[in-house]
Structure formats: C-alpha cells, structure tokens
Amino acid sequence: MRVPLLPSLTRTAVLAGLLALGSSAYAQDGTIYPLDAPAEPNAIPLGTGGVEGQTAKESWFRQWGDPMARNVSTATLTPFLPKPGTANGAAVIVAPGGGFRWLSMGNEGWEVAQALNAKGIAAFVLKYRLQPTPDSLEGLKQSMERTFAAATPPSGAAGAAPPPAPPRWDLSNQLQDAEAAYALIVKRAREWGVDTTRLGMIGFSAGAGLTMHSTLNSKTMKLAFIGPIYGGMGPVEVPKDAPPMFTAIATDDFLFRGQFGVVKSWFDAGRPVEFHLYQNGGHGFGLGNPNRTSNRWFEAFTHWLDVNGFLKPTTGSGSSPASPPA
C-alpha cells in the first residue's frame, strides 16, 4: 500500500492512514481507477468459506499503478516458486496489507514474492478474506470521507491527544485462511520443494497484523520465522516457543508513534528479534520508494535469514516458477 510521502504527516493524513492501516484506496488526491479482475491462473482456493453479510462481488482497482483487490470472500493461495536449480528450500507465506478492507496485491504481494524467488525462496501469496466495502468505487470513497470527517477534530482544536487506535476486526476468518495456507504448503511441500522446518510468514501493515495474530493465536501453524513489516508496535504476550522475528518500520509511519512494545516483548521473552527503525519511508513502502532510507529493508531481511541458517540449501529443492497475474 503506497501512501503519499510528505515532509511531515498532518493529522488528517494520520487519521486517513489509521482507518485502513495504510490507506491505499483513498490517497490525498482520491484518485482510484477500476481494474478488471486478473485471471490469477495459479491461485488455489483454500476452501475456508465466505464472509457473513458480504453481498458485493470481489472487485479490483488500481492506484499509483498498483493492483488492489477488495470484497474478497474466497481466500486463495498463489505459489511463486524459484527457477529450477536455484531453490534452497526456504519458504514464506506473504500477506499483503490494506486495513482488512482491500489487499495491495502488487507491491506487497506479487513483487515481494518475485524478490524472494530471486533469493531461492519459495513464496506463497495469501489473498485472505476481507471486511465488506461498498460495491461501487464512488461508494467506497464516500464511506471513507464520512469516516474521516467524523474522526477529524475541528480546525484549530486545542490539545495534542494522540490519534485514535486503528479499528480492531475479528480476525477469525483471516486466521482460518492463514492456517489453511500453511496446511496446504505442508501437504504439498515435497511437490513445491519446501523444507517445512524453514517455512515462515511475512506481512505488511494489516498483513503484518495477521502475521502477528497467527503467531500468537494459531494452534496449528509452527512458523520458523516471521517478518511483520510496518505493523502495529504495541506490546504483546509472547509464547515461549515464539519464532525469531524480523521487523521494520519508519519513524514517519503513523503506526510507529514512538512505540517499541512488540520488540521489547520479544526481547523480554528471550526470543530472537531484529528491529530496523528507518529515518523515513512513510507507510506502505513495499520493497521501497525512491530516496528513502527504508529501501534497504529487504536486503537486511534476507541477510538476517541467511545468518540465521534459514537459507541453507536443501538437496532436491526446486520447481517451475509462477508468474503474477497480468
């Protein structure tokens, strides 16, 4: 989710971001464009059911050139496998962000998967179920405008109270989707050249929230490592067997707000943790935006994987690569 990069975040921009954990459908200029749904020939339905109260069909739009999906009621998993001879056996579930209202499938899904493939890592993009939004794009914009108006204080309002916390959804659907994705990868691990002891999860914004929620609440997922990228920074209760964590965020990201809670929680629990706080980058930078210090996070992440032994080659790993939808 690419959020406009500003010299400093205005309160309105912060509230807009808080609404969607990084608004990618309603930016400063409000410009969004309809997009025909891509074919997604490699997407595998996870069979986890639909969304209660969902009446609108899944639809897609484009902003800043990025394809985004909304009203997703059928979860899918799309494998992206390294070229034969380059796979090392490591694998990552990739969870795009979008405030649980849409999914930034391009810059936080397919592009990340392809970058992982280039490092010999199998990637699996999870298109998880979402909260319903109005059927039309105009209806989507109007509903967001009403929410922004209600949340924005009057001009010149005194006080420096922090912005309200992001909305908290019931993530039972999304957790089921993540668990089903994990189970499918384990089931087809030999076919896909995956070493299940080196199967992790990375997520962005809301996807980072799902990654953390899965880590803290799933009874079936045994993730080898996690990478919540520009997710919530509040403290959590860390399981004794919590996986090593790599996390990154920028100081000008509205979700940072000077918090280090999740990092301290991992540290206090005695679990391996690596934290990168970047001077700038805003929210939703994906693999990177021009001239921002956060652009090197992916290089740091894969180096961290390598140093921790997750990229040690496995004999016999490899499969044909998948291509992103057009």
Compute and round to an integer the Cα radius of gyration of the chain.
19
pLDDT digits 0-9 by tens, 162-172? 544 445 669 99
Lowest model confidence (mean pLDDT) among 41-45, 151-155, 187-191: 151-155
Task: Record the tokens describing residue 210, joined without a space.
Answer: 């799902």
Q: Any idea what DSSP says for residue 131?
A: -
Distance CA 138, CA 32 (A): 9
CATH topology of domain 11-152+167-307: Rossmann fold (3.40.50)
| Confidence at 142, pLDDT banded by 50, 70, 90 | confident
Task: Return the SS3 of 271.
Answer: coil
pLDDT digits 0-9 by tens, 310-319? 999 865 444 4
Per-residue pLDDT at 290: 84
User: Of 223, 194, 3, nearest to 104 (Cα)?
Assistant: 3
Residue spans of the domains in the chain: they are 11-152+167-307
Residue 212 contacts by C-beta under 8 Å, 6 or more apart in sequence?
203, 226, 228, 231, 232, 236, 262
HSE toward the beta carbon, residue 68, CA cutoff 13 A: 26
Distance CA 96, CA 299 (A): 19
Residue 285 confidence (pLDDT) above 70: yes
Task: Return the SS3 of 93.
Answer: strand
Distant-in-sequence contacts of 70-73, Cβ < 8 A, 24+ apart: 70/25, 70/98, 70/101, 70/102, 70/103, 70/130, 70/133, 70/140, 71/130, 71/132, 71/133, 71/135, 72/103, 72/127, 72/128, 72/129, 72/130, 73/129, 73/130
Residue 22 confidence (pLDDT) above 70: no
Instruction: Please check whether residue 282 is in contact with residue 5, taking contact to mean a CB–CB distance below 8 angstroms.
Output: yes
Instruction: Please check whether residue 192 is in contact with residue 91, taking contact to mean a CB–CB distance below 8 angstroms.
Output: yes
Per-residue pLDDT at 274: 98
Per-residue pLDDT at 138: 87
